[in-house]
Structure 1
Amino acid sequence: MMPRGVIIPGFEQVRRNKKFAKIWYFRHIYLFLLPAIVWFLVFAYYPMYGILIAFKDFKYNLGILGSPWAGFKFFEQFLNDSSFYDVLRNTLSISALKLIFGFPAPLILALMLNGVMHERIKKVFQTISYLPHFVSWVVVVTLMQKILSPNVGLVNDIRYQMGLDPIFFMGMPSLFYPLVVISDIWKGVGWGSIIYLAALTNIDPHLYEAAEIDGAGRWSKLFKITLPCLTPTIGILLIFSLSGILNAGFDQIWLMQSPSTLSVSEILDTYVLKTGLQQGQLAYSTAIGLFKSAISLILIVAVNNISRRVSDVSLW
């Protein structure tokens, strides 16, 4: 055995050559990863240079580096803005409703599909539930507007035949949150169930056989075997959901937003777009976006640590 602290001439060179040899041996895998690495460098890391705008009084003619420093001026401006609490309340309200009603939906669908014994019927329902995920929010919101239109919409046509007055569903603030949650569940429930279906296939079938021998029923097997085996998967997905609670869904909200629902539909993402691109306040909008990212980072670290201490389920 080589004594600790003794340096053999050429030893570091040999170890370095072994590393390069191992990299060369797995060169095809590294080549396979290269497009993803380039994508992240170009579209995720290089744009971080623009974060400097949040701390500068940005001038177009001076550029980012030439503009004078402003410190935390725009962060204080946002926190003191009269619309800060309204925007934050709307964002948290929509995210919380999606989490409460939308998070369990894929799990429930996966358990229902897992209970279907006929494979062909099961595949048909799986395919039907996946399809909405591939439909863009532009199409989804357009369909909602056509169906719920007060003039030519199917729902209001039925109401008219029943002698009832038409309702402008898409323009009522009281109905905005229900429509957001329902459309979000319809679009994502099938795709979200894929992870749970994959986790269900990894459960040892001998556990169910032993439970049946002991006289366990369907509900007993669900709460005693299925859900405990799915706990790690549920925990990881819950961490991701809680850490992204400030992401209320920009595409969906932006397309469903209207002047009559602005009081309940203005979220952080739409507010950033309007102040940055429509009003030209790039430094102010960048500060808001950075504020949101910082809160999300704090949330994911905090939720991960709490989850690790409570249930031993964590991302790291």
Structure 2
Amino acid sequence: MTWLVTGGAGYIGAHVVRALIDDGLEPVVLDDLSSGHAAFVPEGVPFIQASILDRAAVDRAIGERGVTGVIHVAGFKYAGVSVERPLHTYEQNVTGMVTLLASMQQHGVTQCVFSSSAAVFGDVDVELVGEDTPKAPASPYGESKLIGEWLLADQGVAAGLRHTSLRYFNVVGSGDASLRDTSPHNLFPLVFDALVAGRTPRINGADYPTPDGTCVRDYIHVADLALAHVAAARRLERGDSIEPAYNLGSGDGVSVRQIMDAMARVTGIAFDPEVAPRRPGDPARIVASGELAARDLDWRMRHTLDEMVASAWAARQAAL
């Protein structure tokens, strides 16, 4: 079976590509390299450098490579920036999804795993977020991901598309020292860049209504996330029953300050983080249950917080 991985040259997508290969599946990568890296694509894996908005390129990727399913990871994923650039966010994430689904329908591809986000829920006032928790996105990014889920559901009714959406928030760590998160907005690379440069890392907001005043999130290891995508793809291939969406949650979550403490502990670099203002679009707390995903996708937290930090730090050090 051949699976197209959109965004397969990015941090998350590249881990998905390797997990597919390890499971005996054949990946094809489509990525415009706006945030990905050609070097992240393994040798021998077909790679089409193009935007998800380029319908002709998407048609070539699907039609010429015998694609039987799609794992859709490509997208603009920065919640804070999306508040400043809503039109760009909707173009990439909504128009991009429409373009992809139209091409899939034309070529008779009826299986899709969507890399969604816990941002669809917004700033919820529940202890644990479940799949049916009301959706109230706090940013255009979260809204665009929710619309993506709606599009999949509608296409399921209209064209028989079999699909599932995987919702998660902060993805960290590395499953391969050659792959690292290079985002200019994500917490781990920001902290590592500061430490390498001899600067003091900072926390965006320490006055949230949480135990230590900093945001609380599910931090999950990227290799665990990749395995969940492959498990979902395999479930679709077998024709097994599948939920329209799964929360890939830790069940407890950790705060940004706890992350900072782990960073100092693992790297051996002592620091007291500076406190900056809150970023727009950042909910105080989102922690999800992963029970449904554990039941159907063998989802579990296979790494401790220190192991997540250590693997990410090793990848960062390898790039120096």
Do these two structures clear the TM 0.5 threshold for a shared fold by scoring above it? Answer: no
Looking at CA atoms only, which structure, 1 or 2, has the larger radius of gyration?
1
- Whichever structure has more helix as a proportion of its residues is 1
Quick one: higher RCO (CA 8 Å, sep 6+), 1 or 2?
A: 1
TM-score by length of 2: 0.23
